[in-house]
Amino acid sequence: MMMKRFLTHGILAALLGGLTPCQAQEVPLQRADELEVTQRQSAELFDTVVPVVREASASTVWVWMNRKQVALGTVVGSGDKVLTKWSEIALATTPIQVVAGDGRTATASVLGVYQDEDLALLQLDRDGFHPVTWSEEPVPEVGRFLIATWPDGRPKRVGVVAVDERVLKESHHAFLGVAADSDHRGPGVRVAYIDDSGGADEAGIREGDVLLKVDGIAVDSGFELRDALLSKQPGDTAVVELRRGDELKSVEVLLGHRAEDRSRAFPEARLRSMRSLGGPISVVGNGFPSAIQTDMQLRPEHCGGPVVDLDGRVVGISLARADRTRSFIMSAPQVVELLKNEPLSPNAIEPAPGRPGTRQVAAPNQGRAQPLDPRAAGRLRNHLEEMQALLERMEREMQGIGE
Amino acid sequence: MKLTNVFHGILAAALVATAAGREPLRSVDDLRGLEDRVRAVAAQAVPCTVALISGETGASGSGVVTSAEGLILTAAHVTAGVEEVEVVFPGGQTEIGEVLGSNFSKDIGMVQIRGEGPWPFVKLGQSDQLEAGDWVVAVGHSEGYDPVRKPPVRFGRVVSEGPGNFLTTDCTLIGGDSGGPLFDLDGRLVGIHSSIGESLKNNNHAGIGGFREDWERLLAGEAWGELSLNPLANPERPVIGIRMGLELRDGGVPVEAVTNGSPAAEAGIRRGDVIRSVDGSRIRGGRSLGLQLAKFAAGDEVKIGIQRGREMFETKVTLARADKLFEP
């Protein structure tokens, strides 16, 4: 049975049935000759980029844990440290092993953790690994090709920059603290209500005021208002020109930050079922301080490795497979900056609350090679998996009711 | 002498650039050429890719502006059941759009921006000649309008043509992308995002050719057709006009009856013939025959392989639309 989903919701939402395993051909109407053409084309594309990834592949390592290759790592420092994906190794119950493409192997311990980026810095028990050279070019913009490396020297995935580098962490976005009245048609944005976490309240903005300009930029919709604040950070000030009745006023607002739980334009439950369509996604997949979005079809165990451009320059490190359409890359300049900071000791990490738009994550409070009581780690993982399975079942059943 | 060589180089590059998006990739330079074109398409397409939000149903999809006067092409199911939508441009500018016509069978629809232009717009291309391996670029407001980013760009290729006006690519789509644009490497609109299957390679788009066929009716505000998840149930699917008998063990499909005046009748297909292939591809049963035909559109000419007694031959058949043939 062919399974398709229409990509919106509304009155036809019921058409979007629950997720059923698709045993049939990946693309039901694809003819043998079409399959052959696309396979040959993929092979051609990958052969073409082999010379491009050669150098960075030498700095790419497999990270093994509990007899499974769970992530990639990028060799940094003088060849005795590796940057990798923290959430994939956090529950290690056996020593973490690092393996390079030439067979060189080391045992690793967690030196520290960059929790917001979900990256761990590993200390290897031997050196001689090939450290990465970060690109000093500007961050690649939309449409640029990106290639994920693999330790064996073959390119692993090819994609393009989908969205320019941006802040994904909600609390790093400046917040004025007003909700726009959607019934109001411009000019200006009428304030439906005031959210006291933003600064508008303090500055004396009231419900019913019509905001006309932010720092001299005219705003005629809630979305334009948000856009006008994009270059601002929490703690910055903005000059807001507004109309109250017949009176024109200008106020200075000290901007706050957005709450983490942000309501989305698209219903979360329906999206969740689409997000993992086509492959598994990372446990921590979103909410990073800074990332490039790409359409590269990574798997969770591909994350943590270098990403290069067509000149073979290492332009970043893969952070996560977020969902069906998105993977996130941290740019080289950001990684270089990050590595200047002392990472948090793995013993000092607080259990992280769930981030918006990600699967529930439970960061354990320790992350060394054998940090937890193995049985406790096992219980925690089982519990998480059970919760996930339960949620998915409930979701399927809810959708069944809708049909 | 050296100068001539340089000229040869430039000419060759120019030729590659104008040919269809299916040139073999031989070197990193070929890839750089491809990258330049993807970047150019993205730069042109993103400002014209709008989010369509319905206050009544809460539906959120995408669309693309195709004229300076503000004519938007989208998917029929994005605007289903509403007369007006909010049109949000990347950057936040918000306008009101009037929903024009929709053909649900092709999942295509039109919206007209009420405000006065001129609006940024994209040019229309051709979808009929697209085949597996043609490079394409997809844009759309994935997961709904997000003020902190522009609509994401995706790069891929056609992996399968059909059914009917539809085509399938490996540009990954998700909720909210519906109605968003698919472009060829010249930045011309070739499709509108419609649906996905489970595989990352199963992203379906309504070809622009379908809009061309129905342009006047859509513009006039007519709504018709039936949204179908199954290409074999689509009323506009192409047929030859036979009743199929029980399929043979070797996959052949016996003709049990031929509809009067149908393409099969005109091509001389008779009761008792066994259908073996469509355009050289062997068929494996009745469903396989239906799916093979579904890859074409009504009006296309295909070669049907027939076994009549011991004789094997091919005959040319011009496909008809199921709804027109069976309920004229």
pLDDT for A392 equals 63
Cβ neighbours of residue A236 closer than 8 Å, sequence gap 6 or more: A174, A255
Tell me the residues of chain A between 13 and 32 that have a Cβ less than 8 Å away from chain B: 15, 19, 22, 26-32
Q: Which residues, 6 or more positions from B113, have their beta carbon under 8 angstroms from its beta carbon?
A: B65, B69, B70, B71, B72, B87, B95, B96, B97, B119
Tell me whether residue A243 is in a domain: yes
Q: Note the pLDDT tens digit of each residue in A78-137.
A: 999 999 999 999 888 889 999 999 999 999 999 999 999 999 999 999 999 999 999 999
Cross-strand partners of A21: none
pLDDT over 70, % of chain A: 78
Q: Residue A15: its pLDDT value, please? A: 29
A128 and A271 within one domain? yes
Same structural domain, A65 and A159: yes
Residues of B in contact with A293 (CB under 8 A): 149, 152
Averaged pLDDT of chain A: 82
The mean per-residue pLDDT over the stretch A278-295 comes to 91
| CA distance linking residue A102 with residue A123, whole number of Å | 19
ipTM, 2 dp: 0.85
Q: Does residue A246 share a domain with residue A202?
A: yes
Instruction: Give me the CATH number covering residue A179.
Output: 2.30.42.10
Residues of A in contact with B75 (CB under 8 A): 6-8
A147 with A193, same domain: the answer is: no
Q: Which CATH architecture has domain B1-228?
A: Beta Barrel (2.40)
The domain segmentation of chain B, as residue ranges, is: 1-228, 237-326
In a domain, A158, yes or no: yes
Report if residue A35 sits inside a domain.
no
- State whether A160 and A185 are in the same domain: no
Spatial separation of the C-alpha atoms in residues A268 and A246, rounded to whole Å: 41
Return the residue matching tokens 């005959």.
B315
Q: Which of B88, B143, B237 to mutate to test the interface with A (most CBs of A within 10 A)?
A: B143
Q: List all residues of chain A from 302 to 341 with a beta carbon under 8 Å from chain B.
A: 310, 323-326
Confidence at residue A4, expressed as pLDDT on a 0 to 100 scale: 63
- Which residues in chain B have Cβ-Cβ distances shorter than 8 Å to A19? 198
Domain boundary among A222, A257, A292: A257
Indicate the DSSP class of residue B209.
Answer: H
pLDDT for residue A378 is more than 60 = no
- Residue that the structure tokens 């040019």 belong to: B123
Q: What is residue B323's predicted lDDT score, i.e. its pLDDT?
A: 87
Least confident segment among A12-21, A163-172, A229-238, A336-345: A12-21
Task: Say what the pLDDT of residue A22 is.
Answer: 33
- Judge if A179 and A138 occupy the same domain: no
Specify the DSSP class assigned to residue A13. Answer: G
Closest CB from A10, A49, A141 relative to B80:
A10
Q: What is the pLDDT of residue B327?
A: 66
**DSSP label at residue A344:** B
User: pLDDT tens digit string along A311-362?
Assistant: 999 999 999 999 999 999 999 999 999 999 999 988 776 554 444 434 433 3
User: Residue B88: closest CA among chain A residues belongs to which residue?
Assistant: A223
C-beta neighbour count of B9 within 10 angstroms: 10
Round to whole Å and give the CA distance between B148 and A387: 31
- Which residues is B227 bridged to in the sheet? none
Please indicate, yes or no, whether residues A162 and A64 belong to a single structural domain of this protein: yes
| Inter-CA distances, A274 with A5, B92, B111, Å | 9, 26, 27
Same domain, A179 and A160: no
Asked if the C-beta of A241 comes within 8 angstroms of chain B's C-beta atoms, the answer is no
In angstroms, the Cα distances linking A363 to A287, A351, A352, A360 are: 15, 5, 6, 10
Considering the domain architecture, whether residues A194 and A245 belong to the same structural domain is answered as yes
Does the beta-carbon distance from B292 to A30 stay under 8 Å? no
Q: Which residue of A has its CA nearest to B149?
A: A163
Domain boundary among A209, A235, A257: A257
At A382, is the pLDDT very low, low, confident or very high (cuts 50, 70, 90)? low
Determine, yes or no, domain membership for A71.
yes
What is the mean pLDDT of the segment spanning A24-30? 75
Q: What's the Cα-to-Cα distance from A262 to each of A192, A321, B175, B182, B254, rounded to whole Å?
A: 17, 21, 18, 30, 59
Same domain membership, residue A276 and residue A156? yes
Q: A364 preceded by cis ω (within 30°)?
A: no
Q: Rounded to 5 degrees, what are φ and ψ at A177?
A: 100, 30
Which range of A1-10, A242-251, B35-44 scores highest in mean pLDDT? It is: B35-44
Class of domain B237-326: mainly beta
Contacts of B201 in chain A (CB under 8 A): 26-27
pLDDT at A28: 81
HSE-up of residue A16 (Cα within 13 Å, Cβ side): 27
Statement: residue A386 has pLDDT above 70: no
Q: A135 and A180, same structural domain?
A: no
- pLDDT for A35-86, tens place per residue? 999 999 999 999 999 999 999 999 999 999 988 999 999 999 999 999 999 9
CB proximity under 8 Å: B 161-180 to A: 161-163, 168, 170-179
Q: Which of A257, A285, A313 is where one domain is finished?
A: A257
Residues 34-93, chain A, touching B (beta carbon < 8 A): 34-35, 37-38, 41, 44-45, 48-49, 51-52
Q: Is B283 on the interface with A (CB under 8 A)?
A: no
One domain for residues A69 and A207:
no
CB A26 to CB B201 under 8 A?
yes
- CATH code, domain with A119: 2.40.10.120
Higher pLDDT, A3 or A240: A240
Q: How far is CA B138 from CA A158, A302, B226, in A?
A: 16, 24, 25
Residues (pLDDT < 50) of chain B are 1-20
Give pLDDT tens digits for B61-111.
999 999 999 999 999 999 998 999 999 999 899 999 999 999 999 999 999
Overall domain count for chain A: 2
- Domain extent, residue A232, equals 174-257
Give buried/exposed letters for A35-54 (b at 16+ CB in 10 A, else e): bebbeebeeebbebbeebbe
